[in-house]
Amino acid sequence: MQPIGVFDSGVGGLSVLQALRLELPYERFVYVSDAGHAPYGERDVAHVLQRSLAIGDYLVRSHGVRALVVACNTATAAAIAALRAAHPALPIVGIEPALKPAAAHSRTGVVGVLATRGTLASDKFQALLQAQSAQVRFVLQACDGLAAAIEHDDKSQIRALCARYTGGMGHFGAAPGAIDTVVLGCTHYAFATAALQTLLGPDVRLLDAGQPVAQRTRSLLSNENKQNFAIAAGDKTSAWVDLWTTGAVNTLQDTAQRWLTGTAPARFMELG
């Protein structure tokens, strides 16, 4: 059975790929890191749209993917409608900041959102924000440079940027009026969880969208009879992951080896 395609502007989507592999451990995946054209969150909409359509076409034509996961908030906002129009028969799952779950979880009624400038400025995000309860206040923070620092595994820069951006949002914790829940609105930010949790304290919950996306993908494949039930009978030996990048292969390989768990074989290749 053909693989499931996944793409992001860089290594951030590996957090979604990991959730997908846990939810669908018998499946085959092809992941594309568009690191050579990143970061999407700080580029104009036309650039993100063009790159997303190009990668979608590549995954369909070169790998025959039977489903596509857009593991990038900025690409989802900019391009998912165009991707669905270009590939109407292909199940396509996007990602969006977990505002609704955060609002339901918050006890103080104040939720922080860390995201790229491109995501926060998008019509899709603004519509999502307007759909939330008026009883919850959202504090939005654009995090310029954070995705790039994570992409380059610059730990000191990651800590410095996390401190700068959270420091300007207000008070955190369980006290009335404090931010007690923070939405990670970029898939890269899942890799900064340790730094953020240290800064914000144990009373603040961090939410990303990896698991909901994985669950949605499984449900969609099952509903359309496209889940790999033959492998799901118990044989994991056919499961594998191919990881392609338009950037440096060693960067993707190093990050994947740190963050991806499991026994499925992985191959790393450069995409011209």
CATH number at residue 254: 3.40.50.1860
Question: Which residues form the catalytic set?
Answer: 72, 186
152 and 114 co-located in one domain: yes
Find out whether 106 and 181 touch, Cβ atoms under 8 Å. Answer: yes
- At 132, the amino acid letter reads Q
Beta strands in 79-238, from DSSP E residues, in sequence order: 92-93, 110-115, 137-142, 181-184, 205-207
Which residue carries 């924000």 as its tokens? 129
Boundary of a domain, candidates 189, 207, 225: 207
pTM of the model: 0.88
How many CB atoms neighbour CB 144 within 10 A? 14
Residues of the chain with pLDDT under 70: 224-238, 262-264, 272
pLDDT of residue 141: 98
What tokens were used for 103?
């609002």
Q: What is the pLDDT of residue 41?
A: 85
Both 62 and 119 in one domain: the answer is no
What's the confidence (pLDDT) of residue 12? 92
Structural domains of the chain, count: 2
Q: How far apart are CA 98 and CA 117, in angstroms?
A: 17
Query: Do 131 and 115 reside in the same domain of the chain?
Result: yes
pLDDT for the residue numbered 145: 96
pLDDT single digits (tens) 199-254:
999 999 999 999 999 999 999 998 866 555 444 445 555 678 999 999 999 989 98
3-class secondary structure, 162 = helix
User: Which of 113, 218, 40 shows the shortest CA–CA distance to 54?
Assistant: 40
pLDDT of residue 255: 87
* Residue count of the chain: 272
Domain limits for position 163: 99-207
Question: Do 159 and 183 belong to one domain?
Answer: yes
Q: Are residues 10 and 31 in the same domain?
A: yes
Q: Which pLDDT score is estimated for 1? A: 79
Instruction: Report the pLDDT value the prediction gives residue 81, as an integer from 0 to 100.
Output: 97
- Give the H/E segment covering residue 195: helix 193-200
